[in-house]
A and B are shown apart, each in its own frame.
Chain A
Amino acid sequence: MTRAIRPALIWALHFVAIYALISAACAPRQLMDVDVMRATASLITLGGAILVLFWLLSAGRAARQTAGDTTDVVIARITWWCALISLCAITLNLAPIAFLGTCTG
């Protein structure tokens, strides 16, 4: 079952990382330059998305290889959907950083 939760967990970690990066660049302490933040966020997003994409494909393969409505198939189906939704969400997390030039828009 942990297989099904992994993609969502990656989303959570990714969200925290993006939030922390934006806070680092945009809060009064200004720990980081916006461009550095953007590059870091892109790399993190790329890594997370590739990992979740891999799980998505693996779950799809597992679901196809087993017939019927067995526990394995149901788990694979749950994992596939979790991975798909998490992949979209991870990609969307990057959107503000990708589209906005500065902290203030």
Chain B
Amino acid sequence: MSDTSQTYSGAKRGEPDKSFEEVWATPKGAAVLSSVSHRVVGKRFLITGFIFFLIAGVLALLVRLQLMVPENTFLDSETYNQFFTMHGTIMMFLFAIPMLEGFAVYLIPLMIGARDLVFPRLGAFGYYCYLFGGIIVLSSFIFDAAPMGGWFMYVPLSTSQYTEGMSADFWLIGITLAEIASVTAAIEIIAAILCSRAPGMTLTKMPVLMWYLLVTAFMIAIGFPPLIIGSILLEAERLLGLPFFDIALGGDPLLWQHLFWLFGHPEVYIIFLPAAGMVATMLPVFVRQPLFGYGFAVAAVITMGFLSFGLWAHHMFATGLPVMSLSLFSAASTMVAVPTGVQIFCFIATLSLGKPRMAVPMYFILGFLFIFVLGGLTGVMLAAVPFNLQAHDSYFVVAHLHYVLIGGFVFPMFGALYYWVPHFTGRMMSDRLGKWAFWLMFSGFNLAFFMMHLTGMRGMPRRVASYPAGLGWDRLNMLSTVGAFILAAGIAVFIVDFFRHRTKGPLAGRDPWGAATLEWLYPPVAPGYNFRAIPEITSREPLWDQPNLTTGDPAQIDGALRDSVDHRRETIGSDPISGAPIQILRLPHPTWFPLIAAAGLAILFTGALVSWYWLSGVGAVIALIAITGWMWEPSDSGARRNSGLHDARGKPVSLPVNIVDRRSHLYVGLTGTLLILSALYASILFAGFYLWNTQPDFANATQRPARMFALFTFGIGVALFALSWMSSRIAQFDGPRFLAFAINILLAIGSVGAALTLFLALRPVDPYSTAFAAVGWALGAFTGANMAVVLYWSLFNGLRKLCGCVAAGQTLPDFLLGAYGKATALMVVFTAGAFLVAGAPQ
């Protein structure tokens, strides 16, 4: 390995004709769409998410207008159903999650001392998937085919038997495309927080928001796959007639509910936790004291992340589950109040440490505490089975969920917007208008939704388009509608203030709120590279405790990577646990590939929506070409560079570029990907076990897979595992290239062989005969899809070697292929094992 910029062969040179600032500049004109900067992508998420919020808000107002008076004819039933369905769908999938992704994408690098996210192209790709998915969902209005089955799309209502036309398809296909953004964001967040922290930033010196986002990202990785699988199964039932949920063929509508709520309940915490993290970041700034009980808060977040997965069936208390199951979920639902309470206690204790400065974000924080605690209390009420059975599907539940979601997300979000908008635009928003916005929103919200508790207690069911007069609901509904419009007026004041401040808002000075975290190191708007040199961090509140960071020109602060000898975008890579600098991360420059790949996927999904499968094929080819181009850029591993850091004896420290070991950001990102794939696989297994257990007659009557071929598959799976292990080892020790090439070819052959034997094992089973058989095919198809990835990846790596595109030390692709291959091989072995067991005579 070489230390000089001129001689090493491992990494290509960047843009030598450009200065450091130019290398990091955002492209101008239409080329801005090729930008992959986290600052650009983060703001796109925030703006698009906010636009969806406004659209969903208008739909809510129309729903409230309809319910304002009894027997109203303002909206017909069908339109009403479309509006409340789209309101919930947009708010949950196209507003809340993308907004938190926007904040995460924008803030993470700034707060942990990195110049960008570790996978900027993935962030841009996720954004475009979200945008195209949102457009597909929203375009259903244009075709008069807006979904109307509720935001949870319960079956059998959403099957083609009861929902003809394409309305449910718009939902299933559009939302699945948009969800790609969520799972890519999860990988991005996990890898960025663990692998690109500033020197000295141990896990316990991270800003507390990073803990919240890290836990949230893991929750997304595990929580979203059940819905993705559920959506694919339901769409397969609608398009292909596979009977996953068809009770006549051993399917079960409750399976959809399980898969949906396995996602749906953690989703509430996925939305709430980042918002609570933003509160935990802002609150200490306005109290001028560190957060009380950092350790307590982190423990509470971790345990909430786990416990929130044990609550899904409390949405299904009225479906006839065994009482013992109900009690288990009731207990878990009650238990989650404990870590939530610990967090709230930390916030209240922090408030008690000093006299809070009552700036606009502080109002929203107090609003959050008031509203969310009330929502949490009604949540504990609903966790009790007897009460739940009474309140089920009533407006009491509507009130509860809005108290939790608006209190737990919207109020902190507005506080966060007031707090971080100066960072985005360089100008302060109005204190006076901000307080107007808060009081209108706070009073309007409580008027609208507190009344709904009473409406629900008086027996008004959800999702009714009108109601008769004289049931005691009239006045309460009128007050709710008035409250909703007052709430909307508050949001309108915020929008006016936002546009006003772009020209008339006072310029924001350096660290305008007196914050402690690194994003405020530069005067807003901070330069595109975030940090000219990445500073060493010795405190959890660096801007309060490290005077060297706050005095003088921030561009002159000592730190890592001041020199830019290769004219590349770079940041420091850290050990995931200790945070010690271990590598220099090379980051991609602007590129069109993410946009083209996402557009290809959008075409693929649209083709499926309109049943033009040739169009799907075209989209798949476009996406595959773009992904190939994306990956073709050579790995930069195999070189060392001066990091700009010094050891204890004052000697310069050089670091490897893109290390090849398990601490690599790519390996951590791949681990996140494998977690998602495992959760997808587990969701199909769950479906299989569920149907086997609840529909034993149909399961017993299902044809058996061919055991001999299942045994072959098992054997090939074991061989694939061994080959993948060898691929990792050879890559790690930079072994002979011809050997690595031979293993690429063997892996390709093995994956084809495994797919073929798996198909032959499944051939005796008719997927249309029973739901259990269809799930068996789904399991095989999922395993086959993963083997297709191994095949593609192996051929890709082999081709690159044949073309002479791989220099010495550039072994990361084989190292990662080894890890992916091992996981896929395990999947093959499990699937083959399942077919062996299922194939046994009963």
Contact = CB atoms under 8 A, between A and B. Distances in A.
A28 interface: yes
A49 interface: no
Contact of A95 (B298, B310, B327): B327
B694 A29 contact: yes
Nearest to B579: A71
Interface string A28-68: 11010000000000000000000000000000000000000
Given A1-B203, A28-B696, A96 B324 contact: yes
Given A29-B693, A29-B696, A88 B325 contact: no
Given A96-B331, A102-B324, A104-B323, 17 more contacts: A4-B299, A8-B303, A8-B307, A9-B306, A11-B303, A11-B306, A12-B310, A18-B328, A22-B322, A22-B325, A26-B324, A29-B692, A29-B694, A85-B342, A93-B332, A96-B328, A105-B324
Contacts of A85: 299-300, 303, 307, 338-339, 342
A24 B322 CA distance: 11
Given A29-B696, A77-B296, A89-B335, A103 B324 contact: yes
A71 B693 contact: no
How big is the B interface, by class? 35 or more
Contacts of A92: 331-332, 334-335
Interface string B197-230: 0000011110000000000000000000000000
Contacts of A95: 327, 331
B309 interface: yes
B354 interface: no
Contacts of B695: 28
Contact of B307 (A18, A75, A89): A89
Contacts of A22: 322, 324-325, 328
B305 interface: yes
Interface in B745-792: none
A35 B204 CA distance: 46
The 3 A-B residue pairs whose C-beta atoms are closest, nearest first, are A96-B327, A81-B299, A77-B295
Contacts of A81: 295-296, 299-300, 303, 342
Interface string B281-303: 00000000000001110111011
30 contacts: A8-B302, A11-B307, A12-B309, A12-B310, A15-B309, A23-B693, A24-B693, A26-B324, A27-B693, A27-B694, A28-B694, A28-B696, A71-B202, A71-B205, A75-B203, A77-B295, A81-B296, A81-B342, A85-B338, A85-B339, A89-B303, A89-B332, A89-B338, A92-B331, A92-B335, A93-B332, A96-B325, A97-B324, A100-B324, A100-B327
A18 B329 CA distance: 11
A23 B691 CA distance: 12
Main secondary structure of the interface of B (DSSP, over half): helix
Nearest to A14: B310
B299 A82 contact: yes
A92 B694 CA distance: 26
B536 to A, nearest CB: 16
Contact of B332 (A8, A15, A28): A15
Contacts of B299: 4, 77-82, 85
B739 interface: no
B306 to A, nearest CB: 4
Contacts, number: 123
Contacts of A24: 693
B577 interface: yes
Contacts of B331: 92-93, 95-96
Interface string B320-352: 001111111011101100110010000000000
Nearest to A4: B302
Contact of B693 (A8, A28, A75, A79): A28
A74 B204 contact: yes
| Residue from B306, B325, B338, B577 with most neighbouring chain A CB atoms (10 Å) | B306
A12 B694 contact: no
Contacts of B325: 19, 22-23, 26, 96
A5 B215 CA distance: 11
A99 B298 CA distance: 33
Nearest to A34: B324
A13 to B, nearest CB: 10
A48 to B, nearest CB: 13
Contacts of B306: 8-9, 11-12, 86
A12 B223 CA distance: 14
B229 to A, nearest CB: 18
| Residue from B202, B325, B342 with most neighbouring chain A CB atoms (10 Å) | B325
Contacts of A79: 299
Nearest to A63: B295
A85 B295 CA distance: 13
B328 A19 contact: yes
Contacts of A78: 295, 298-299, 302
Nearest to B305: A8
A9 B306 CA distance: 8
A105 B339 CA distance: 29
A12 B323 CA distance: 21
Contacts of B327: 95-96, 99-100
Nearest to B330: A96
A75 B203 CA distance: 9
A93 B311 CA distance: 12
Interface in B486-536: none
| Residue from A4, A28, A82 with most neighbouring chain B CB atoms (10 Å) | A82
Given A1-B203, A5-B302, A104-B322, A74 B693 contact: no
Contacts of B324: 22, 25-26, 96-97, 100, 102-105
A93 B202 CA distance: 35
B696 to A, nearest CB: 4
A103 B327 CA distance: 10
Contacts of B202: 71
A98 B617 CA distance: 56
A22 B203 CA distance: 39
A29 B695 CA distance: 8
B794 to A, nearest CB: 32
A15 B312 CA distance: 12
B323 A103 contact: yes
A3 to B, nearest CB: 11
A19 B338 CA distance: 21
A4 B214 CA distance: 14
Contacts of A104: 322-324
B499 to A, nearest CB: 43
Contacts of A71: 202-205
A18 B335 CA distance: 16
Contacts of B693: 23-24, 27-29, 31
Contacts of B330: 96
A60 B533 CA distance: 40
Contacts of B322: 22, 26-27, 103-104
A89 B342 CA distance: 15
A85 to B, nearest CB: 4
Contacts of A74: 204, 294-295, 298
A9 B305 CA distance: 10
A1 B302 CA distance: 11
Contacts of B294: 74
Contacts of B310: 12, 15, 89
| Residue from A12, A85, A95, A100 with most neighbouring chain B CB atoms (10 Å) | A85
Contacts of B305: 8
Contacts of B323: 100, 103-105
A100 to B, nearest CB: 5
Contacts of A89: 303, 307, 310, 332, 335, 338
A92 B385 CA distance: 16
Interface in B162-213: 202-205
Interface string B360-391: 00000000000000000000000000000000
A47 B718 CA distance: 33
